[in-house]
Amino acid sequence: MLNELAWSAAPAGCAAVTLGQLWRVDAGPSYHPLRAAPDAPVLVAVRTLAGRGRVEFFDRGGLDLPVETLAVLENQSIREYGCEGPRWRFWWFCFRLDGVPPFPLHRVLPVPPDNREEADVADCARLLASEDAASRALASATFCHVLHRWLAHWREGRPRPGPHTAAVEAVIEAMRRDFARPLTVRQMAWMAHLSERRFRQVFAETTGKSPKRFYDELRLAAAAEMLRAGGMNVSQVADALGYSSPFHFSREFRRRRGVPPSRWR
């Protein structure tokens, strides 16, 4: 007789992923496709397998994408992209995500080769091209599995957490819990039991961003999902996320996304 049990010590769900497009590209130095003005509020995952590419953004600089890396980007922030050097072999996934992204955006993540990824991505492409809805759903599920496996490899390869990592993670969780009452940096520092100056330093070392920049991006990611889901107008979203006015929210959204929130909807 065999009677085994596997159980989770804590809840660990996955946000729903809907895969829309998958490009498999092996290109040379002339590869710099023209981008039409993007309307779709989707995310793009770029997995570089060989060579190097580069992405330029509307509202910030750009990112070099070297071999064995993963970057998840907001589609509407991408101005252009192309091959840097003699070759760029990569996969480009366009997908929707329900909820706040559980991974960093606009950041290059080192991810070592995975001996299953080629076969899984080939399955994704085959299933996504099917006329059968169940097969396309399986393509999304397969991509979600591959994406989380890449993220697990990245996390395994990160340096050992610093002494204040848990405190920073607790502050980030507090940010997510109640967007309607935005935290000040002073409140965040108090929660982490650090001086304000030291907290800013520790937060930037842990996340690669200032507390304000991180919080702003988190709220705007939540706003994008709320607008896409429908049921709330721009004023209601601004109020739910603690913006001082719909005008302030619309200005920040357009500055970061390149389009007003009404068009994103």
Higher-scoring residue by pLDDT: 118, 264: 118
Residue pLDDT, tens place only, 153-189: 998 877 666 778 888 888 988 888 888 888 899 999 9
Residue 69: phi and psi, rounded to 5, are -135, 165
Asked if residue 98 has pLDDT above 90, the reply is no
Question: What is the set of domains in the chain, with CATH numbers?
Answer: 17-157 (2.60.120.280), 165-264 (1.10.10.60)
| Mean pLDDT of all residues in 219-247 | 84
pTM of the model: 0.67
pLDDT band at residue 139 using 50, 70 and 90 as cut-offs: very high
* Whole-angstrom distance, CA of residue 113 vs CA of residue 198: 37
pLDDT reported for residue 173? 86
Tell which residue, 172, 180, 240, has the closest CA to residue 209.
Answer: 172
| Mean pLDDT of all residues in 60-74 | 89
Residue pLDDT, tens place only, 119-135: 999 999 999 999 999 99
Q: What interhelical angle do 196-207 and 165-177 show, nearest 10?
A: 90
Please, which residues have CB within 8 angstroms of residue 121's CB and are 6 or more apart in sequence? Answer: 22, 24, 91, 146
Portion of the chain with pLDDT greater than 90, in percent: 40
* Whole-angstrom distance, CA of residue 33 vs CA of residue 71: 19
* Whole-angstrom distance, CA of residue 225 vs CA of residue 188: 25
